[in-house]
Amino acid sequence: MSDTRHTKVLIIGSGPAGYTAGVYASRAMLEPILVQGIEPGGQLTTTTEVENYPGFTEVQGPDLMVKMQEHAQAMGCEIIGDIISDLDVSKRPFTAKGDSGTTYTADAVILATGARAKWLGLESEEKFKGFGVSACATCDGFFYRGQEIVVVGGGNTAVEEALFLTNFASKVTLIHRRDELRAERILINRLEKNEKIETLWFNTLEEVTGTDTPLGVEGVVTKNVKTGELTEIPCKGVFIAIGHAPANELVKDTLETHMGGYVVTKPGSTETSVPGVFAAGDLTDHTYRQAVTSAGMGCMAALDAERFLAEQDD
Ligand code: FAD
Ligand code: NAP
């Protein structure tokens, strides 16, 4: 059954940016509707300990996101489990279509669709996705108890995933294309102290190898970027942790984007190239990409939306 819901402010996304926008827009009496998308709680639901969100020395990512959801709800934000499949920002009120069949119309929209894991784009990676190849250690690490695993990447995610996977794996090989990690020093220190982790520098993943029946990973082939030398590493799990790309599908043809698809916002603001459409969090941010900065931008977006709507009423 299809129905139409109108709201002053439609918030798309339920990560730190979306929920914080929900708190602020509710307290501004804008009665926002927040649509959660396919990943309620966003990226932090795919990790374990978060140690850098102010007020929490340590908190589990999924728990933090439940608290944020409860906070937004307590302030009056209506939270809906739906996925927006189409967004028309060519005229006001803006129109968003939900997979549920509901059409949402809104006087202002806050985009907080975040980012998604990047893949290498190898045929063999695609073949074994879900059968030994993963981009989420917290989701899939448990399947590799006592097994050997490789992790690809050199950022915070790769190092955290490698560390986390030592809880299950007999050995973790971190494969990085350079000889320098871009992860934070505290994580690198932990990595260096962990005897289960070996690091393979200057190597890229060339191929995932395995069996067809049953479909499963048996190893990887890596290539030394300096010498071209190929190395075979036996393993049962391959975790790709090479960063994230902005989830801009709804607006990539209608809003101005830059730097590989990040939505452009005016400096010091969350205003996009379309008046009344605001963007916050990892969708707009190619620099910081943190939970706390996303939450901060969610706050800004709600305040910007409130100001925009007040100006329309004048
Ligand atoms: P996201 O968290 O990416 O959430 C996006 C939301 O948009 C999701 O709810 C999704 O369902 C929704 N969405 C997308 N498309 C649609 C659609 N079409 N319709 C409706 N909804 C949609 N940061 C830290 O500060 N500390 C950490 O310790 C930390 N650890 C991390 C560990 C991992 C493994 C990863 C991947 C990231 C980590 N980060 C950490 C980064 C942090 O998670 C992100 O910066 C933050 O989550 C971005 O928040 P966001 O609100 O912009 O979007
Ligand atoms: P990232 O910082 O962009 O790092 C991506 C890593 O993958 C880089 O080391 C990069 O190599 C490598 N890489 C990229 N493309 C590759 C390819 N095609 N082949 C091989 N290697 C490739 O991404 P991230 O680690 O996912 O982090 C994303 C954001 O989330 C960051 O802002 C990070 O701080 C944040 N985050 C924070 C925490 C935390 O605070 N504890 C935890 C996780 C994530 P190069 O180094 O050579 O470019």
Pocket test for ligand 1, best of 33, 43, 263 (most atoms within 8 A of CB): 43
Ligand 1: centre distance to CA 112 (Å): 9
Number of the ligand 1 atom closest to the C-alpha atom of 84: 19
Number of the ligand 1 atom closest to the C-alpha atom of 16: 51
DSSP secondary structure letter of residue 274: S
289: left (phi over 0), alpha (psi -120 to 50) or beta: left
Pairing of strands 216-224, 203-211: antiparallel
Q: What pLDDT score was predicted for residue 134?
A: 94
Number of the ligand 1 atom closest to the C-alpha atom of 38: 11
Q: What are phi and psi of 115, to 5 degrees?
A: -140, 160
Ligand 1 neighbours, Cβ below 6 Å, are: 12-18, 35-40, 42-44, 46-47, 50, 52, 83-84, 112-115, 157, 247, 250, 281-283, 289-292, 294
pLDDT in tens, 149-199: 999 999 999 999 999 999 999 999 999 999 999 999 999 999 999 999 999
Ligand 1: centre distance to CA 44 (Å): 6
* Smallest CA separation from ligand 1 atom 46, residue: 291
User: What are the C-alpha distances in Å from 86 to residues 90, 99, 104, 120, 252?
Assistant: 12, 9, 10, 27, 11
Question: Which residues are tagged catalytic?
Answer: 136, 139-140
Ligand 2: centre distance to CA 245 (Å): 11
Q: What pLDDT score was predicted for residue 152?
A: 98
> Which domains occur in the chain, in start order?
3-116+245-313 (3.50.50.60), 119-240 (3.50.50.60)
Nearest ligand for residue 125 CA: 2
Ligand 2 neighbours, Cβ below 6 Å, are: 52, 120, 152-158, 160, 177-178, 182, 204, 241-244, 289-290
Q: Token digits for 190?
A: 């932990």
Classified as helix, coil or strand, 156 is helix
Q: How many C-beta atoms lie closer than 10 Å to residue 178's C-beta?
A: 11
- Indicate the average pLDDT of the chain: 96
Q: Give me the residues of the chain with pLDDT under 70, please.
A: 1-2
Q: What pLDDT score was predicted for residue 1?
A: 53
Bridge partners of 239?
A: 134, 151
Strands (E), 89-241: 94-98, 103-111, 115-117, 133-134, 148-152, 171-175, 197-200, 203-211, 216-224, 230-234, 237-240
Pocket test for ligand 1, best of 66, 87, 113 (most atoms within 8 A of CB): 113
Number of the ligand 1 atom closest to the C-alpha atom of 250: 18
